[in-house]
Chain A
Amino acid sequence: MKGSSAQVSSDFKHDIVFSDLNYAIDGKSLLEDVSGRFEGGRVHSILGQNGAGKSSLLRCLTKEWHPISGDIRFNGQTLQDQSYRELALKRSVLPQNQELAFSFQVEQLVMLGFDAQGLALNECATQLDDVLEACDIRHLAQRDYLTLSGGEQKRAQLARVLAQIWPQNSLADDAFTGKWLFLDEWSDGLDLKHQVCLGQLLRQWSRQGLGVVMILHDLNQIMQWADQCLLLKAGQVHSQGDVSTVMTPANIEAVLGVKVGIWQPQGSAVPMLFPLQGQR
């Protein structure tokens, strides 16, 4: 594999390691010998064209789909041996599309996440408040989910997903150790303020031990928030590694089929990528 991670920690206790994953539907191969490793406590991104296998990989890693062959170790144990009940306490998943058609209040919706942890309302009042605050939906707590705007609905669902793995004391240095968030295009539909705010929070929680695996299409969001990136092309791994080493114009052109330029703006810690084709 090109550009493997430089730092390899000695134990795999909080990592997701997957090797030679194959998955196919109706004879069409979606994943071919996909191998890689996501370290706990870091933010990982998956990049690729539509149909490159990003969501398929996410579904295999969350045990929604069972790969035809290959091995997945989640937090040091075989994924297949861990029940959904056990997994729900360690990892939470935000799918790309939501289909809720019933009038839950926002607060009720978020409580469903704590319910999955087995917590009742009187046991998690402060935690509920933390989560509402993080997603900036406290002022919407009593509103009917179905009457919210698209971006507000997204934040409410994000809060529910967070609630499922939210720790007792979210301020502790290792509050999120061993926990994972899988996010399929979480920033889609959010306004810039909330994108930036939640991106920062993801980075903060990752320093407290949270592992994040997210699918994003915006190259610069990956540059800003991800530590590592896995590039997928037609169901195969093109490269994986630190963002600074794999997010090169050459790799991106190979994977996305678009020439990009790279530019280091003044006052920005990370370089920007922008398409060179299709400009006016």
Chain B
Amino acid sequence: MRNTRSLWILSTALLLAAGLSLQSGSVVLDWQDIWTGLSERQSLVVWEIRLPRIVMAALVGAGLAVAGVSLQALFRNPLAEPGLIGVSSSAALGAVLVIVLGGVLWGEVQSWQMSLAAFVMAAAATVVIYLIATRKGHTDVALMLLAGVAINAVAGALTGLLITVSSDVQLRSVMFWMMGSFSGVSWQGVSLMGVVGLIVLARLLSLSRALNALLLGEQNCLHMGYALQSLKWQIMGLSAVLVGISVSLVGVIGFVGLMVPHMVRLWVGPDHRMLIPLSALGGAVLLVLADWLAKSMMQPAELPIGLLMALLGGPFFLMMLLKRRGVGL
């Protein structure tokens, strides 16, 4: 069957991409070494640096793609994407805010506190965008995108301001929050993203039929017997969890939630029962590959992953807009 085949194709692609990324870097690693046994140095590099980084890229890619899918169902439009509508930058602001405030108020800031703050701000941004763009169950897509521009501007400026005036080392750089990075990823972060991400993914997958009905409009969704209000709250909350945690761990990485669901829909159609698992896999493949490119293109320097994604995603977004010219957003 076509659907099972697509799952196999993408799973294989993910393994190949992971393999590719695993052996590239300043410490040389041949496939032979893996069979014959790694040196101590190689083993350290693989287990403590490369593997967590690859797993994190895959999990964040899956999470961001699925967050895109669910926001697109909420707004009934394929242009809804956490980066474009300001959810990601709000999450970054939340994380930075808690570092600065926490430093003053209670000292050492834990990573879960950053994730929680990022989630809260991401959820707040989603609710605000929804209230602005959707009235009586109908979304004004232009309003949604423009409100996103405004939120991005404000959240980005506040984040930059906080980083500039504060000297806390935990804040890292403006670059990290705006462009993301998978360097310095720890197994602790991977397990947080992994456990929470998979639970959220499973929950969204179980809502597939309701999400399908929501594509027909809020009125139809209600009349088809799905709990509309609870569904909308769950989408906003679950997508904010995915965006919030990933941003707090690896910064803002845009366009994954735009490109992956769009391509998967062209391939298998809009049914969420296939769209969610395939987008998760597709997002994982995309970010693992992008991360491999980012770290191997200009060795020993590393390209910010968000920069690479913007290079890919910007033209993609324009292409989607051009396709809609004449039919409206």
Contact = CB atoms under 8 A, between A and B. Distances in A.
A92 interface: yes
Contact of B138 (A62, A88, A99): A99
A102 B222 contact: no
Contact of B225 (A99, A101, A116, A160): A116
Contacts of A64: 219, 222-223
A94 to B, nearest CB: 9
Contacts of A85: 225, 227
A103 B212 contact: no
Interface in B232-280: 265, 269-271
A112 B223 contact: no
A140 interface: no
Contacts of B77: 101
A99 B138 CA distance: 9
Contact of B224 (A86, A101, A102, A116): A116
A105 interface: yes
B102 interface: no
B215 interface: yes
Interface string B17-42: 00000000000000000000000000
B223 A100 contact: no
A236 B92 CA distance: 54
Given A64-B223, A102-B265, A95 B270 contact: no
B269 A105 contact: yes
Given A64-B219, A98-B216, A104 B225 contact: no
A115 interface: yes
A115 to B, nearest CB: 5
A102 B217 contact: no
A115 B223 contact: no
Interface in A58-104: 62, 64, 83-89, 92-93, 95, 98-104
Contact of A115 (B138, B209, B227, B265): B209
A204 B212 CA distance: 31
Given A95-B217, A99-B217, A103-B265, A84 B209 contact: no
Nearest to B225: A88
B328 to A, nearest CB: 10
Contacts of B212: 112, 115
A112 B220 CA distance: 11
Contacts of B76: 99, 101-102
Nearest to A90: B225
Contacts of B138: 99
B201 to A, nearest CB: 21
A126 to B, nearest CB: 21
A35 interface: no
A95 B219 CA distance: 8
B316 interface: no
Nearest to A85: B225
28 contacts: A62-B223, A83-B225, A84-B222, A84-B226, A84-B228, A87-B223, A92-B223, A95-B217, A95-B220, A98-B216, A99-B216, A99-B217, A100-B217, A101-B76, A101-B215, A102-B78, A102-B215, A102-B270, A103-B265, A103-B270, A104-B215, A104-B270, A105-B269, A108-B269, A112-B224, A115-B209, A115-B212, A160-B216
Interface of A: 62, 64, 83-89, 92-93, 95, 98-105, 108, 112-113, 115-116, 160, 164
Interface of B: 76-78, 138, 209, 212-213, 215-217, 219-220, 222-228, 265, 269-271
Given A84-B222, A98-B217, A104-B215, 6 more contacts: A84-B225, A87-B223, A87-B225, A102-B265, A103-B270, A104-B269
